[in-house]
Structure 1
């Protein structure tokens, strides 16, 4: 089946998120002190973390690896019994549902980051808008029809 413009947008948005999170999360894993990204440890004073290792792992896995794997799933639409168990939209294929999940994971990540850092920057706004864009594009009727389960 031919991909639609909406599907291509969804894949590009997830690719942008995934690559950025792989880079940012990877940098925090390699340098838990935050030095590699110029992030001082005092930023974590209001958080439960003493360094950036755990946030880096979460960023790398949930917002880096997952969106990148999801791109493959959106294109190939593979069957997955495990993913289907986590699919709360029973009329939709799991890759579409996980695209919606990723947007909510990103919104939660940004909200927690703002609480823990006790600050808001332009990057928080940018990534919040990215989460909304991913959700908006996933909900487009032309995208939904491509990921509806066959009856």
Structure 2
């Protein structure tokens, strides 16, 4: 069970962090959103004039933190379960805030929000399994 959860967690972190690094870099380098086919009108209800700041947040908090979390899982750090829960909460929060700001939803919002919740749950279960083996 523990090994299965670690594999699932690794795959979810790789998917979410990889996508966030890709998307975040694209938005930072091309803040008009054109390379990701994001119309500027999505930001009309936000405080952002372009996608630079959201892209930077995506890159750092979902991308790089997700990559760091993936490394802690692969290395078996004592705190990896907590990092997984934190990353899941960050990803879920990012999606909720994004939906509130752009005032629309897509399949990817539901997919990534669900991945965030699964990461929180997996981190919690893995933490319980680790504690029961001590």
Q: What TM-score, normalized by structure 2, do the two folds share? A: 0.89
Q: Give the corresponding residue for 2:14.
A: 15
Instruction: Show structure 2 runs of 5+ residues with no match.
Output: none
Alpha-carbon spacing, 1:147–1:27, altered in 2? closer, same or farther (3 Å): farther
Q: CA RMSD in A?
A: 2.0
TM superposition shift of 1:145: 5.1
Q: Distance in 2 between matches of 1:126 and 1:76?
A: 27
The one of 106, 112, 120 aligned to 2:91? 106
SS, match of residue 98 in structure 1: helix
- 1:1-151 matches, within 5 Å, as 4-78=3-77, 93-140=78-125, 143-144=126-127, 147-148=130-131
Mind listing any 5+ residue stretches in structure 1 that lack a counterpart? 79-92
Q: Distance between the aligned counterparts of 1:77 and 1:126, measured in 2?
A: 27
Please identify, of 24-33 and 65-74, the stretch whose mean Cα deviation from structure 2 is larger: 65-74
| TM-score of the aligned structures, taking structure 1 as reference length | 0.80
Deviation at 1:5, TM superposition (A): 1.4
Report the Cα offset of residue 103 of structure 1.
1.0
Shift of residue 40, structure 1, vs aligned partner: 1.3
Residues paired across the two proteins, number: 133
Partners in 2 of 1:7 and 1:29 — Cα distance?
Answer: 32
Q: Secondary structure at the match of 1:32?
A: coil
Q: Between Structure 1 and Structure 2, whose CA radius of gyration is higher?
A: 1
CA apart distance, 1:144: 2.2
Q: Which has the higher helix share?
A: 2
